A and B are shown apart, each in its own frame.
Chain A
Amino acid sequence: MKQRHSQPYASRYPLHSPIRYLSALACLSGSALAVSVGAAQADTITVATVNNNDMVIMQSLTEEFEKAHPDITLDWVVLEENVLRQRMTTDIATQGGQFDVMTIGSYEAPIWAERGWLEPLNDLPADYQVDDLLGPVRDGLSHDGTLYAVPFYAESSMLYFRKDLFAEAGIDMVEQPTWTQVRDWAEQLHDPDNDVAGICLRGKPGWGENMAFVSTMINTFGGRWFDMDWQAQIDSPAWQEAVSFYVDLLDNYGPAGASSNGFNENLALFSRGNCAMWVDATSAAGKLFNPEESEVAAELGFAPAPVAETPKGSHWLWSWALAIPTSSDAKEAARTFVTWATSQEYVALVGEREGWTSVPPGTRQSTYDHPSYVEAAPFASFVVDAIRNADPLDSSLEPNPYVGVQFVGIPEFQAIGTQVGQMVASALTGDTSVEQALAAAQRATERTMARAGYTD
């Protein structure tokens, strides 16, 4: 006969205590999950931005905006530039609608506008004073004459130098330096025993890193990325000359490990007094002039970016701008925010709260006319001239079919620029010769362009 227990199995054995904990945890997490699926507020706008200093200031002024616009709340998504670009591209290409305001560069603006991903911004209020925006910056953010993003800050490139070292060596800075002069000066000032490199330049590979700088050298040495039939020109004599010059300059008079230096690394080197010269973004000027961030603030000199064969394209033009994706469901609120963050009032607000060297530069003529800014930022006129003279539509000696000074405004350029950047970096480290690197870069670019349908 089958034996039967008087008690059910469950009550004969006490519940194992860890299992009890597990169950409790399950209930806790379950309830947390249930709470988490909440509806978003109707007037909350999500702003995607990068972690640059000017954007950090914008974020810190959230309260000011919300005070002035009590019906709008700001939510921030701050990511590193490349991560943000990938994140925003995924969202905008799939019309995900996760962002109401996107921080984009002058590279993306026309490409995304052409695809119908961005809201046109052609009927901005009169008090926004759209004509006050600097022409080249505005053009860079337009497509077919319509503005699709409003500039938050813009930059060009220029030459920074140490006035004390120049004076010691008896060198006088000229109004418009040439690359040959820069090489001679770098030779004189290079002093590795005292940890001073003759010149610091970008070497870290990437389309927005070494190739931003190298492209301006190629332009001024008379080269271009593509001819009018979209045939790659990377194996041309101008490229050979420019890249050889760049590699020799950094190899002989650059800091150790130059191939891993990008903007940040060079900024740190220059601020600590380890570079006699540095050619890079004008947006570094505010940081280098700030004695709290820079040990060479008192000795800082600046000059236009060096030229070679032609002044065309010798200095770049880049802007970070705010755009509204068509997938946003709070377009009006987003428009209110982008016009506020790029307005004259915003510039004045930052000037008063953070100091005038901290205002977002390069976007409005009124900033450069403001006496407080002119007084606080001695580099102001250089920057505005550099931006005004940069022409993204005519950036090379021979005609080219693309928009952009230090980039080519086509979707394929990110991949091309980064690949070529890696090859240039390998020439810099000595892994390959300049000839080999450029020949490989030419072949790779030709392949990409043929695959994309630009060439046969």
Chain B
Amino acid sequence: MTTSPSTASAIRSAPAAAERGAAAQRAQRWRKLGITLLGWGVALTIFFPIFWMILTGFKTEAEAIADPSLIFTPTLDSYVEVQERADYIKFAWNSVVVSFGSTLLALLIAIPSAYAMAFLPTKRTKGTLLWMLSTKMLPSVGVLVPIYLLFRDIGLLDTRLGLTIVYTLMNLPIVVWMLYTFFKDLPKDILEAGRMDGAGTLQEVWYLLLPLTLPGIASTGLLSVILSWNEAFWSLNLTTSQAAPLTAYIASFSSPEGLFWAKLSAASTMAIAPILIFGWLTQKQMVRGLTFGAVK
């Protein structure tokens, strides 16, 4: 029996190839481990301030301002005191109403406008989009007094409706931009097929466009809710007691005299808890929405 030179060399190189394969596998494992560690490192770095805030909420005021330490006896004193001093539910309900209300209002306005710009563009569409975004470039404090006077005259100061309107207007450019991007990714043929089937514009939007771009709409909505939830400038300036959301609740625990870090941390933890849980629950939709259309 004879072996061809090529077979012989293949046999000879088999252990080497196996070794190379094992080495490549090892390298890949290391690379994977490195990426995992890096991912964890970045995640922990980003999460650390929140972790420290949660931890500080369980310390006494003296421990909160002392040298940083992970070892302490946890106490609920700050939570009890925070609860005694302010009605958390009232502030939280205001936050829920205002952030979800403004998001819905923004979506109601943004969906038709993004539809128009994505599917029926004119030569001014790009300019309009850029102009909308340019409104975000004006510092809020620049328009505080005119808006304050306007709200005073129409009785919208310290109302949830007033804050909802402001948040809607504040987030509208971003919402329109995001929806426009998602709508642009949708093949026009699908809508045309619907039209061939006899769908009118409204039906086209409701039965085709919205279901097909729902992940994008959901993530846009979620972003708008989060932005509204965390907004502090307008909520502090346009509300007093009736419509004040959780940002005003947090602000009331900061003090120029006396120790307040533990109470402030407890209040902040309670303020971010609902949106954090909401974020966890909707994480899948959010990631799906944000990567929607990323790979074609």
**Which of A's residues lie within 8 Å of B, judged by CB?**
4-5, 9-10, 13, 16, 18-19, 22, 25-26, 28-30, 32-33, 36-38, 40, 46, 48, 50-53, 56, 59-60, 75-83, 86-87, 90-91, 93-99, 208, 262-265, 267-268, 271-272, 281, 283, 287, 293
Q: Which residues of A sit under 8 angstroms from B144, Cβ to Cβ?
A: 90
B101 (CB) vs chain A CBs: closest residue: A29
B218 close to A18 (CB less than 8 A): yes
B157 close to A96 (CB less than 8 A): yes
Identify which of B26-34, B43-51, B246-254 touches chain A: B246-254
The CA of A356 and the CA of B157, in the complex, are separated in Å by: 40
**Which of B's residues lie within 8 Å of A, judged by CB?**
61-62, 65-66, 84-86, 94, 96-97, 100-101, 104, 107-108, 144-145, 148-149, 152, 157-161, 164, 197-199, 203, 206-207, 210-211, 214, 218, 236-237, 240-244, 248, 251-260
Query: Distance in Å from the Cβ of A81 to the closest Cβ of chain B?
Result: 4
B148 close to A94 (CB less than 8 A): yes
Query: Distance in Å from the Cβ of B62 to the closest Cβ of chain A?
Result: 7
The CA of A37 and the CA of B100, in the complex, are separated in Å by: 16
B256 close to A80 (CB less than 8 A): yes
A52 close to B148 (CB less than 8 A): no
The CA of A268 and the CA of B254, in the complex, are separated in Å by: 15
**Closest 8 A/B residue pairs (Cβ):** A36-B160, A78-B252, A16-B211, A51-B255, A80-B254, A75-B241, A29-B101, A81-B256
Q: Within the complex, which residue of A25, A28, A51, A95 is in contact with B253, where a contact is CB–CB below 8 Å?
A: A51
B203 close to A9 (CB less than 8 A): yes
Other A-B pairs, 11, CB within 8 Å; known A32-B160, A90-B145: A10-B203, A16-B211, A16-B214, A25-B104, A32-B97, A51-B254, A83-B254, A90-B237, A96-B148, A281-B257, A293-B259
Q: Within the complex, which residue of A56, A96, A265, A271 is in contact with B85, where a contact is CB–CB below 8 Å?
A: A56
Q: Can you identify 23 A-B contacts, CB atoms within 8 angstroms?
A: A9-B197, A9-B199, A9-B203, A16-B207, A16-B210, A16-B211, A18-B214, A18-B218, A29-B104, A33-B160, A33-B161, A36-B160, A51-B252, A53-B258, A59-B85, A77-B241, A79-B248, A80-B256, A94-B148, A264-B258, A267-B259, A268-B62, A272-B62
The CA of A36 and the CA of B244, in the complex, are separated in Å by: 12
The CA of A382 and the CA of B206, in the complex, are separated in Å by: 76
Q: Within the complex, which residue of A46, A78, A93, A268 is in contact with B65, where a contact is CB–CB below 8 Å?
A: A268
B237 close to A52 (CB less than 8 A): no
A79 close to B256 (CB less than 8 A): no
A48 close to B256 (CB less than 8 A): no
Q: Which residues of B sit under 8 angstroms from A40, Cβ to Cβ?
A: 242
A28 (CB) vs chain B CBs: closest residue: B100
- Supposing A32-B97, A98-B158 touch, asked if A80 and B251 sit within 8 A by C-beta, the answer is yes
The CA of A437 and the CA of B254, in the complex, are separated in Å by: 31
B99 (CB) vs chain A CBs: closest residue: A29
Query: Distance in Å from the Cβ of B199 to the closest Cβ of chain A?
Result: 5
Query: Distance in Å from the Cβ of A159 to the closest Cβ of chain B?
Result: 18
Q: Within the complex, which residue of A5, A94, A264 is in contact with B149, where a contact is CB–CB below 8 Å?
A: A94
> What is the predominant secondary structure among interface residues of chain B facing chain A?
helix
- Supposing A5-B197, A9-B203, A9-B207 touch, asked if A80 and B97 sit within 8 A by C-beta, the answer is no
Query: Distance in Å from the Cβ of A189 to the closest Cβ of chain B?
Result: 22
A50 close to B255 (CB less than 8 A): yes
Q: Which residues of A sit under 8 angstroms from B66, Cβ to Cβ?
A: 268, 272
Query: Distance in Å from the Cβ of B4 to the closest Cβ of chain A?
Result: 64
B240 close to A36 (CB less than 8 A): no
Q: Which residues of A sit under 8 angstroms from B258, Cβ to Cβ?
A: 51-53, 264, 267, 287
B214 close to A19 (CB less than 8 A): yes
B236 close to A10 (CB less than 8 A): no
A98 close to B157 (CB less than 8 A): yes
The CA of A19 and the CA of B209, in the complex, are separated in Å by: 11
- Supposing A267-B258, A287-B258 touch, asked if A87 and B100 sit within 8 A by C-beta, the answer is no
A98 (CB) vs chain B CBs: closest residue: B240
The CA of A76 and the CA of B248, in the complex, are separated in Å by: 12
Q: Which residues of A sit under 8 angstroms from B160, Cβ to Cβ?
A: 32-33, 36-37
Query: Distance in Å from the Cβ of B255 to the closest Cβ of chain A?
Result: 4
Q: Which residues of B sit under 8 angstroms from A33, Cβ to Cβ?
A: 97, 101, 160-161, 164
Interface-central residue, B94, B211, B241, by most chain A CB under 10 Å:
B241
Q: Which residues of B sit under 8 angstroms from A4, Cβ to Cβ?
A: 198
A46 close to B241 (CB less than 8 A): yes
Q: Within the complex, which residue of B85, B252, B255, B259 is in contact with A268, where a contact is CB–CB below 8 Å?
A: B259
The CA of A5 and the CA of B197, in the complex, are separated in Å by: 8
The CA of A28 and the CA of B97, in the complex, are separated in Å by: 9
Q: Which residues of B sit under 8 angstroms from A32, Cβ to Cβ?
A: 96-97, 101, 160
Q: Which residues of B sit under 8 angstroms from A83, Cβ to Cβ?
A: 236, 251, 254
Q: Which residues of A sit under 8 angstroms from B253, Cβ to Cβ?
A: 51
Q: Which residues of B sit under 8 angstroms from A262, Cβ to Cβ?
A: 256
B259 close to A51 (CB less than 8 A): no
B145 close to A94 (CB less than 8 A): yes
Q: Which residues of B sit under 8 angstroms from A81, Cβ to Cβ?
A: 255-256
Q: Which residues of A sit under 8 angstroms from B254, Cβ to Cβ?
A: 51, 79-80, 83
Q: Which residues of B sit under 8 angstroms from A99, Cβ to Cβ?
A: 240
The CA of A22 and the CA of B199, in the complex, are separated in Å by: 22
- Supposing A9-B197, A52-B258, A267-B259 touch, asked if A87 and B65 sit within 8 A by C-beta, the answer is no
Interface-central residue, B66, B85, B96, by most chain A CB under 10 Å:
B85
A75 close to B240 (CB less than 8 A): yes
Q: Which residues of B sit under 8 angstroms from A78, Cβ to Cβ?
A: 85-86, 252
Query: Distance in Å from the Cβ of A447 to the closest Cβ of chain B?
Result: 22
